[in-house]
Chain A
Amino acid sequence: MDALNNLMYGFGIALEPINIAYVFAGVFAGTIIGMLPGLGPISALALMIPITFAMEPSSGLILMAGVYYGAIFGGSTSSILLNAPGVAGTVATSFDGYPMAKKGLAGKALAIAAYSSFVGGTVSVIFLMLVAPLLSKVAVSFGPAEYFALMVLGLTAVVSLSDKSLVKGLIAAVVGVIISIVGIDLQTGTERFTFGSIQLLDGIDFLVVALGIFALAEVFYMLLRGGGGKEAPRNAIGSLKLTRSEVKEIAGPVSRSSVLGFFTGVLPGAGATIGSFLGYSMEKRLAKDGDTFGKGNIKGVAAPEAANNAACTGSFVPLLTLGVPGSGTTAVLLGALLVMGVTPGPMMLEQRPDVFWGVVASMYIGNIFLLVLNLPLIPLIAKILDLPKPLLLSLILIFCMIGVYGMSFSVFDLLLLLGFGLLGLGMRLFGFPAAPLILALILGNIMEESMRRALQISGGDWMTFIDKPISLSLLVIALLSLGLPLLKKRRKRAAAAAE
């Protein structure tokens, strides 16, 4: 009852005309910015700090929350239409979204993304409201050993998706971690694998690798298939409407992934990226038609989209109740809150209930705006597919360049982008999956940091990862996630041999 009263109080704040305008503006700006590779939620939020500086803290946070989940949704658009995920959280959406677009079902894929994001966002707001204090207690009990185990699980879950060869999936993951640790080691200040280059001291940015491995490699691949010279048949975007059976089909994945996404988002460090990958891999395993994932299965779009939006909301739990940002994006939000004179933490609910409950209520409104805004825009956005192939390929290149240069202002990064594009092409031609590499790249640093901190605390005793029950359970699940597909494969082979 208390939660309901508080929510009503929150709605009183969120429904003020000025705050409704901020929610709308935030969602709209976030969606547009999220579509541009290079300007993901972090950049979008960072750009908003000067704007929110003079605002009421509740209004400022309402605007920024809108930008955040708007950007995550916007990122899915470029993932689906161009296979160019601008945001790490929407990489998994491209696995089935892009094949759907290639089949002429771009409209349906975007509509599924919009509906799933809406459900994921709404379900997770309810969770945020009801169980935030309880969940924050669990999350705070996670030490470095548990985090390390969680990262390992996140990686193995994705590697186990590589149907054709587990070994190639693991190699891709190791290469991803290798790329992630280039630069200065933050714990000791030692340079690692920089080859004396000043540009590599800060490491290699996720965006350079993601755009290279996905978007640029896709351009190269299309060129190899003759996509440049010949006018490829134009794909219609198809209908936006979902049939009753399709709605039924995605209902389960969307609800499961919404819950999973929320819980993943609550754990600091996990966030939308792991949430979306876990949602995708869970549904692939549960689905009877799991082998069609990656070829344009609607559940493969619905699950990661519901999960990443739910995880965005989940990531507000540690931020608002503990004052601990769980991701780079929420770290920027924390900075913005501090600038506005609000210190998030356990006392925030008592001291600034207007901020907490105002934001929670605004999320309900924001999710409705997200749906209302995006559904009518889909046919307009999908017009991008009507462009002649040669022109589209060149524009994707420009898109990648501006994304990378606009972020780092470095010519060196443009050359790195080219290198990763060629690496992506090679991986594609030789059957190495790209997803484990990209996830390993994101997790590599946190994984190493957690591992070293855990060993530091235990005085170098490796048993620390097994002694703790949560860490042990996570590692066992990780091992099972790798072992089970192998067993399945062996059983299939044995059955085939018996026949």
Chain B
Amino acid sequence: MTKLNTNQWLALVLALVAAAYIAMAWQIPTFPLPRPVDSDLFPKVLGFSLLILSVFLFFEKPTPLAGADEVDHDAQQGPLLLTPWARVIVTSLAIAAYALLLVPLGFVLASTLLCTGLTAYYGYRRHAVNLATSLGVVLALYLTMTRVMDVYLPTGVLPF
């Protein structure tokens, strides 16, 4: 069996997504009163368009990938936690944790922790400057949003 190229892999994934989408579009309930166009028509058109486009993509010759070749290969040799992909994964986990802790901890504390922690993790070693800048920016944003713009942000464990 011949090996599939990147476009063909992507096309297969997209075709599966399109098929699932079309199946879901068929589940959309019809409106009780008869109408020339119901809620399901547009999604069905979109699903079939995606399916047809994935067929085109399957037969399209892949061009060199724009971003993939720019990945920092030197860093792959370093400690596992500092490899480029590990940085993306750790950052994603940090964002997810931030989202879950934002309300209980409050905006100021959660944001300062996220900002200071990630900056240090990315390799910035001047910790005092890091903490001062993160806290300063977060506080400035917090005060502008809550006091000037009247936008509510969670206070959490802090009294203000």
Contact = CB atoms under 8 A, between A and B. Distances in A.
**Do A and B interact with each other, yes or no?**
yes
Interface of A: 39, 47, 164-165, 167-168, 170-171, 174-175, 177-178, 181, 185, 187-188, 190, 192-193, 219-221, 223-226, 228-231, 387-391, 393-395, 397-398, 401-402, 405-406, 409, 411, 414-415, 417-418, 421-422, 425, 428-431, 448, 451-452, 455-456, 458-460
B36 A220 contact: no
Interface string B36-49: 11110111001001
Contact of B67 (A185, A221, A388, A394): A221
Given A224-B71, A414-B102, A418-B96, A391 B124 contact: yes
A451 B42 contact: yes
Contact of A390 (B29, B92, B119): B119
Given A171-B50, A188-B38, A391-B124, A406 B153 contact: yes
Contacts, number: 190
21 contacts: A165-B60, A174-B49, A174-B50, A181-B42, A187-B39, A188-B38, A192-B39, A224-B71, A228-B87, A229-B122, A229-B123, A389-B122, A390-B120, A390-B122, A391-B133, A393-B119, A398-B111, A406-B149, A406-B153, A428-B67, A452-B42
Interface in B79-119: 82, 84-85, 87-88, 91-92, 95-96, 98-100, 102-103, 107, 111, 114-116, 118-119
Contacts of B72: 224-226, 229
Contacts of B150: 47
B43 A192 contact: yes
Given A193-B24, A391-B119, A398-B115, 5 more contacts: A165-B63, A390-B124, A394-B119, A405-B107, A460-B37
Given A390-B123, A391-B119, A422-B92, A398 B137 contact: yes
B39 A168 contact: no
Contacts of A402: 107, 111, 141, 145, 153
A409 B87 contact: no
Contacts of B128: none
A322 to B, nearest CB: 27
A392 B108 CA distance: 18
Given A178-B21, A391-B119, A401-B98, A455 B50 contact: no
Contacts of B56: 167
Contacts of B111: 398, 401-402
A108 B65 CA distance: 30
Interface residues of B, number: 73
Interface of B: 6, 10, 14, 21, 24, 28-29, 31, 35-39, 41-43, 46, 49-50, 53-54, 56-57, 60, 63, 65-68, 70-72, 74-75, 78, 82, 84-85, 87-88, 91-92, 95-96, 98-100, 102-103, 107, 111, 114-116, 118-124, 130, 133-134, 137-138, 141, 145, 149-153
Contacts of A409: 152
B121 to A, nearest CB: 8
Classify the interface of chain A: helix, strand, loop or mixed.
helix
Contact of B53 (A170, A398, A417, A430): A170
Contacts of B114: 394, 397-398, 401
A430 B6 CA distance: 8
Contacts of A393: 118-119, 122
Contacts of B35: 188, 456
B43 A415 contact: no
A215 B97 CA distance: 19
B82 to A, nearest CB: 6
A164 B66 CA distance: 10
A406 B151 contact: yes
